[in-house]
Amino acid sequence: MMKLSKENLNLLYSGKTKDVYYYDENTVLLHSKDSVTGWKIKNADGSFSVVEDPGANEVVGEITGIGIKNIISSIYYFTKFYQAGIFTHFLDADLEEKTMLVRKAKTVGAGLECIVRFKAMGSIVRNYPDYVKEGQELTDFFEITTKNDTAGDPRISRELLTNPDFGPIMTNSLYEEIKKIILRAAKIVYEDIKQKGLELIDIKFEIGWIDDKIALIDEISAGIMRVFKNGIQLSETDLSELLIS
């Protein structure tokens, strides 16, 4: 691994869990923070409780060392994807600097995330209580959401994505290609998680364009998945430790 310091680099974007720096014409440097996203819930006595949730849009605190753990798990899974022939943006990493060197990617549309659900939990149950049961087993359940914090990252239908009136954002054949890639990647993580004695409930991936090819981008860490152990959901903190053990 090469030395990858953000010192003297121009900051392009500051996100909830990482900062993005210009490295050269074709690459950017991602610097991982120790931030954790979730929800603040007001208690009856007026105090607030914090609930970690990787799908939330609010930073609720910091956990020392989680940034490095996220990079370690990203290296691990991006390597597995590479071995499986799945294209990603990953090039190199520097654990001491908490950075990853990645290929520069363009957004698909205004930015999209892909979710694979193995069991129904969370937002899908809240949004469709008449049709989906908590804990229901799901088969190859794939959906796409926008990356728009203000709108709440809503689901976006295939019809809208492929409708000529809206671009289209993608063709039907591209939609099928993306679905195939995401399901393959999700099943790789699922089987690896299973070997650790854990159960992957759902996982989300961010996608982008690199040299006219769809690539998995961002990171592969505890912050993008919901995992249970012995019927109990693991916190991002606990899961990040188990992913690198």
Instruction: List pLDDT tens digits, range 142-156.
Output: 999 998 878 888 999
**Rounded distance, CA 115 to CA 155, Å?**
10
Report the first-to-last Cα separation within the chain, whole angstroms.
Answer: 20
**Type and span of the H or E element at 188:** helix 172-195
For residue 51, what pLDDT is reported?
Answer: 64
Residue 57 scores a pLDDT above 80? no
Lowest mean pLDDT among 54-63, 142-151, 175-184: 54-63
**Rounded distance, CA 62 to CA 81, Å?**
29
The amino acid present at 10, given as its one-letter code, is N
In the chain, beta strands by DSSP E: 11-14, 18-24, 27-32, 35-42, 48-52, 58-62, 90-94, 99-103, 106-107, 112-119, 137-146, 199-210, 213-217, 225-229, 232-233
Q: Which residue carries 């961002």 as its tokens?
A: 218
Mean pLDDT, to the nearest integer, of 85-105?
A: 97
Phi/psi of residue 69, each to 5°?
Answer: -60, -40
For residue 106, what pLDDT is reported?
Answer: 96
Greater confidence (231 vs 38) lies with 231
SS3 193: helix
Residue of 116, 44, 30 whose CA lies nearest to 75: 30
Evaluated on CA atoms 237, 72, 89, 200, the torsion sign reads: negative
Greater confidence (75 vs 40) lies with 75
Evaluated on CA atoms 147, 151, 155, 160, the torsion sign reads: negative
For residue 208, what pLDDT is reported?
Answer: 97
For residue 47, what pLDDT is reported?
Answer: 72
Lowest mean pLDDT among 41-45, 77-81, 103-107: 41-45
Residue 49 scores a pLDDT above 70? no
Q: Which residue carries 């607030």 as its tokens?
A: 48
Label the pairing between strands 27-32 and 99-103: antiparallel
Average of per-residue pLDDT values in the chain = 91
Alpha carbon of 84 to those of 17, 38, 87, 88, 214: distances in Å? 28, 32, 9, 11, 15
Residue 38 scores a pLDDT above 80? no
Residue 218 scores a pLDDT above 90? yes
DSSP 162-183: H-GGG--SS-HHHHHHHHHHHH
**Rounded distance, CA 107 to CA 144, Å?**
14
* pLDDT over 90 percentage in the chain: 76
For residue 236, what pLDDT is reported?
Answer: 85
Residue 63 scores a pLDDT above 90? no
Confidence of residue 60 (pLDDT cuts 50, 70, 90): low
Q: Are 168 and 161 in contact (CB under 8 A)?
A: yes
For residue 3, what pLDDT is reported?
Answer: 87
Lowest mean pLDDT among 8-12, 27-31, 48-52, 88-92: 48-52
Greater confidence (65 vs 9) lies with 9
Q: What residue ranges define each of the domains in the chain, with the CATH number in brackets?
A: 11-103 (3.30.200.20), 106-243 (3.30.470.20)
Lowest mean pLDDT among 3-17, 52-66, 99-113, 146-160: 52-66
Phi/psi of residue 66, each to 5°?
Answer: -70, -25
